Amino acid sequence: MDAGICLLTEDQFLCPICLDVFTIPVAISCGHTFCKTCITEQWDINTHCQCPVCKQVFYTRPELQVNTLISQIADQLRHEAQQTANSSSSEDVSCDICTETKKKALKSCLVCLSSYCETHLEPHRTESGLKRHQLSDPVENLKVRFCTKHKKPLELFCKVDQRCVCMHCMVLDHKEHDIVPLEEARKDKKMELGKTEANIQMMIELRQMKIHKIKHSVKLSNEDANREKTGGVQIFNFIRNLMERQQKNVTDTIEEKQRTTEEQAKGSIRELKQEISELTKQSAKTVELSYTEDDLDFLQGFLSLKAALPTTDWTKVSIRLPLYEGTVRIAVERLVEQLKETEAQLGEMKDMLSKAELKKVQRYAVDVILNPDTAHPRLILSDDGKEVKHSKIRKNVRDSSDRFSCLYNVLGKRGFSSGRFYYEVQVNANADWDLGVVRKSINRKGKGPLNPKEGYWAIGLMNGEYTSHADSPIELSAKPEKVGVFVDYEQGLVSFYDVDTADCIYSFTGCSFTEKLYPFFSHGGKSSTPLILTPVYYNE
């Protein structure tokens, strides 16, 4: 490059749009220069023609004239950059044939797609078949730069197949395809690269948010677990203390009876041993007395001996064994009485735990709106989709695969295929209703039991009986006026709550959900009272 050009820097020959060295540089009337393709595409997508640098607006699209001088300089800059790249890459290119110490490659063969040092290049200079091969300066990764099929440089890009091709590929295999030079394809992909980077950053943010949600879920889980453990410890410690007190009373009573018996036995044994000692002495005196010859001494000794003999009648003395039987039974009866006396306290604890459990599931409250496209023609929905009641008149509505035609059912608009959700329904004095969740694929045109086998997880009231619609129906003792429905999709759990008492009415456990679940409601028409979806009032 001459001295005049050396005064300029490469940055002065970069297009302001693509930020690369000019390709077919064109100047517009405001004096700024751009790649012809860049400024043309910029104006094609905008309403007004405007200079991207100074923002001058042209109401008539300017004619584009190639700036010959800048074009020549840009071509020279690209040529020098390519030579520099080839030079730096050739320094690192080694001979592909050398097996031990790799020598520097002198040439690369564009036919053999290998690089050779001075020694291994000799056959290409002497053998007639190899002399016709095209040689070039050493090129690294030569095989990936050439078409493996035609042994020609990959200098074009097929937009249809999204791959680099050679001149022969373009003519033979990609005849009707949109083919552009690698340089032009690079500019397009460079713009795509920015979008890809933005997408990657968005994916990173989404995953960071997911990590935050997972950590938050773990925190909530730990809080729930600790709250549940605390409640359990309180109740069972209370019961354990009652039991331990009664156990101590039983032990103390039995041990007291044991001590009394042992002390009585010890006293009798001590007295008996004392009499045995006296009798032993008297026995010795009888022997001595038997040798006395004097009549008076004998008689006086005999009378004295007989008067000294013990008078206790031990045949009438016995140890009364204590009655242990019944001690434990009496203690248990007392424990039961104490539990009855503290029933109110236990009830308060149970209510506390029930309310805590209800609050926990109320966190997952969702806004359920009834879907009129699923409602049986005899059902009337409120305008806000929050109430449903039965009508004696069958409405003239469009039938569809979503609408129930035999059962007086309606579903919520939104389905759920993961996570947890909860909603509440005011049933009041309605005498015939069912509610819960159903799977998306239930039969909407026929009749059948509302059980899990048919895709229903529900409870209801009919003929005055509250029933869970399990595979074998179970009568429920609760008579709720407002029912809460909670679903944990992954855990396979559907639970129903009496919202006023916070009691869990019934739970379906161990369910296997494989498709979307929808909130489900049925109004049998035995009363005019509607089923009402109510807001969930939840406080931490």
Per-residue pLDDT at 139: 78
Q: What is the mean pLDDT of the chain?
A: 84
CA distance 194 to 138: 33
Phi-psi region of 134 (alpha: psi -120 to 50; beta: other; left: phi over 0): beta
What pLDDT, on the 0 to 100 scale, is given for residue 83? 62
Residue with tokens 């869970």, as numbered in its chain: 468
Q: Is residue 477 in some structural domain?
A: yes
Confidence of residue 138 (pLDDT cuts 50, 70, 90): confident
Please check the confidence at residue 539 and state whether its pLDDT lies above 70.
Answer: no
What pLDDT does residue 357 have?
83
Average pLDDT over residues 262-267: 88
Considering the domain architecture, whether residues 392 and 516 belong to the same structural domain is answered as yes
Please report the beta strands in 247-371, taking only residues with DSSP state E, as ranges in sequence order. Answer: none
- Could you tell me what percent of the chain has a pLDDT over 90? 25
Q: Is residue 365 part of a domain?
A: no
pLDDT at 398 over 70: yes
The answer to whether residues 397 and 518 belong to one domain is yes
Distance in angstroms (rounded) separating the CA atoms of residues 38 and 28: 13
Q: Residue 484 forms beta bridges with which residues? A: 424, 497
**What is the pLDDT at residue 476?**
92
Same domain membership, residue 497 and residue 383? yes
Q: Given pLDDT bands bounded at 50, 70 and 90, which one contains residue 540?
A: low
- Give me 113's structure tokens: 């797609």
- Say yes or no: 329 and 379 in one domain: no
- Residue owning tokens 């019934």: 506
| Whether residue 190 is found in the same domain as residue 265 | yes
pLDDT tens digits for range 316-333: 777 777 776 777 777 787
Structure confidence at residue 196 (pLDDT): 83
Q: Is beta strand 433-439 parallel, antiparallel or unpaired with respect to 517-523? A: antiparallel
Closest residue by Cα to residue 254 from 311, 322, 341 = 322
> Which of 18, 41, 76 marks a domain boundary?
76
Spatial contact of 381 and 368, defined as CB atoms under 8 Å apart: no
Give the model's pLDDT for residue 11: 66
What's the pLDDT at 81? Answer: 63
Tally helices (H) and strands (E) across the chain: 10, 24
Flag whether 518 is in a domain: yes
Asked whether residue 231 is domain-assigned, the answer is yes
Q: 264 and 402: one domain?
A: no
150 within a domain of the structure (yes/no): no
Determine contact, residues 15/67, Cβ cutoff 8 Å: no
116 located within any domain:
no
CATH number for the domain harbouring residue 41: 3.30.40.10
Q: Which domain holds residue 249?
A: 184-333
3-state DSSP assignment of residue 23: coil
Last residue of a domain, one of 55, 76, 97: 76
Q: Is 79 left (phi over 0), alpha (psi -120 to 50) or beta?
A: alpha
In 407-462, at which residue ranges do the beta strands (DSSP E only) sit?
Answer: 409-411, 420-426, 433-439, 456-462
Residue of 52, 5, 58 lying closest to 33 (CA atoms): 52
Are 115 and 97 in contact by the 8 Å Cβ rule? The answer is: no
Q: Which residues pair with 522 in a beta bridge?
A: 409, 434
Which two three-digit tokens encode residue 308? 């000294």
> Does one domain contain both 390 and 506?
yes
Domain end marker among 46, 76, 106? 76
pLDDT at 422: 96
Q: Please write the tens of the pLDDT for every residue from 161-205.
A: 998 998 888 888 888 888 888 888 888 888 888 788 888 888 888
Lowest mean pLDDT among 114-123, 220-229, 404-413, 472-481: 220-229
* Average pLDDT score over residue span 259-268: 88
β-bridge mates for residue 486, sequence order: 422, 495
Q: What is the pLDDT of residues 437-462, one digit of tens each?
A: 999 999 999 888 899 999 999 999 98
CA distance 509 to 404: 27
Q: Is residue 122 part of a domain?
A: no
- pLDDT tens-digit readout, 333-358: 777 777 776 666 666 666 777 787 88
Alpha helices in 116-179 (DSSP H): 122-126, 128-131, 167-172
pLDDT of residue 82: 61
Reduce the DSSP state of residue 73 to 3 states and report it: helix
Distance CA 376, CA 397 (A): 9
pLDDT given at position 307 = 81
pLDDT tens, 60-94?
Answer: 888 888 888 888 887 777 777 666 555 544 457 88
Q: Please, which residues have CB within 8 angstroms of residue 333's CB and are 6 or more apart in sequence?
A: none
- Would 173 be classed as within a structural domain? no
Number of folded domains that form the chain: 3
Burial of 299 (0-12, 13-18, 19+ CB in 10 A): exposed
Residues 380 and 524 in one domain: yes
Report the pLDDT value the prediction gives residue 5, as an integer from 0 to 100: 43
Average pLDDT on 140-148 reads 77
Question: Same domain for 387 and 268?
Answer: no
The pTM of the full predicted model, rounded to 2 decimals, is: 0.46
Q: With CA atoms as reference, report the closest residue to 127 among 142, 116, 143.
A: 116
Q: Report whether pLDDT(265) > 70.
A: yes
Task: Check if the beta carbon of residue 422 is closer than 8 Å to that of residue 517.
Answer: no
376/326 same-domain check: no
Give the dihedral sign, CA 453/456/459/463: negative
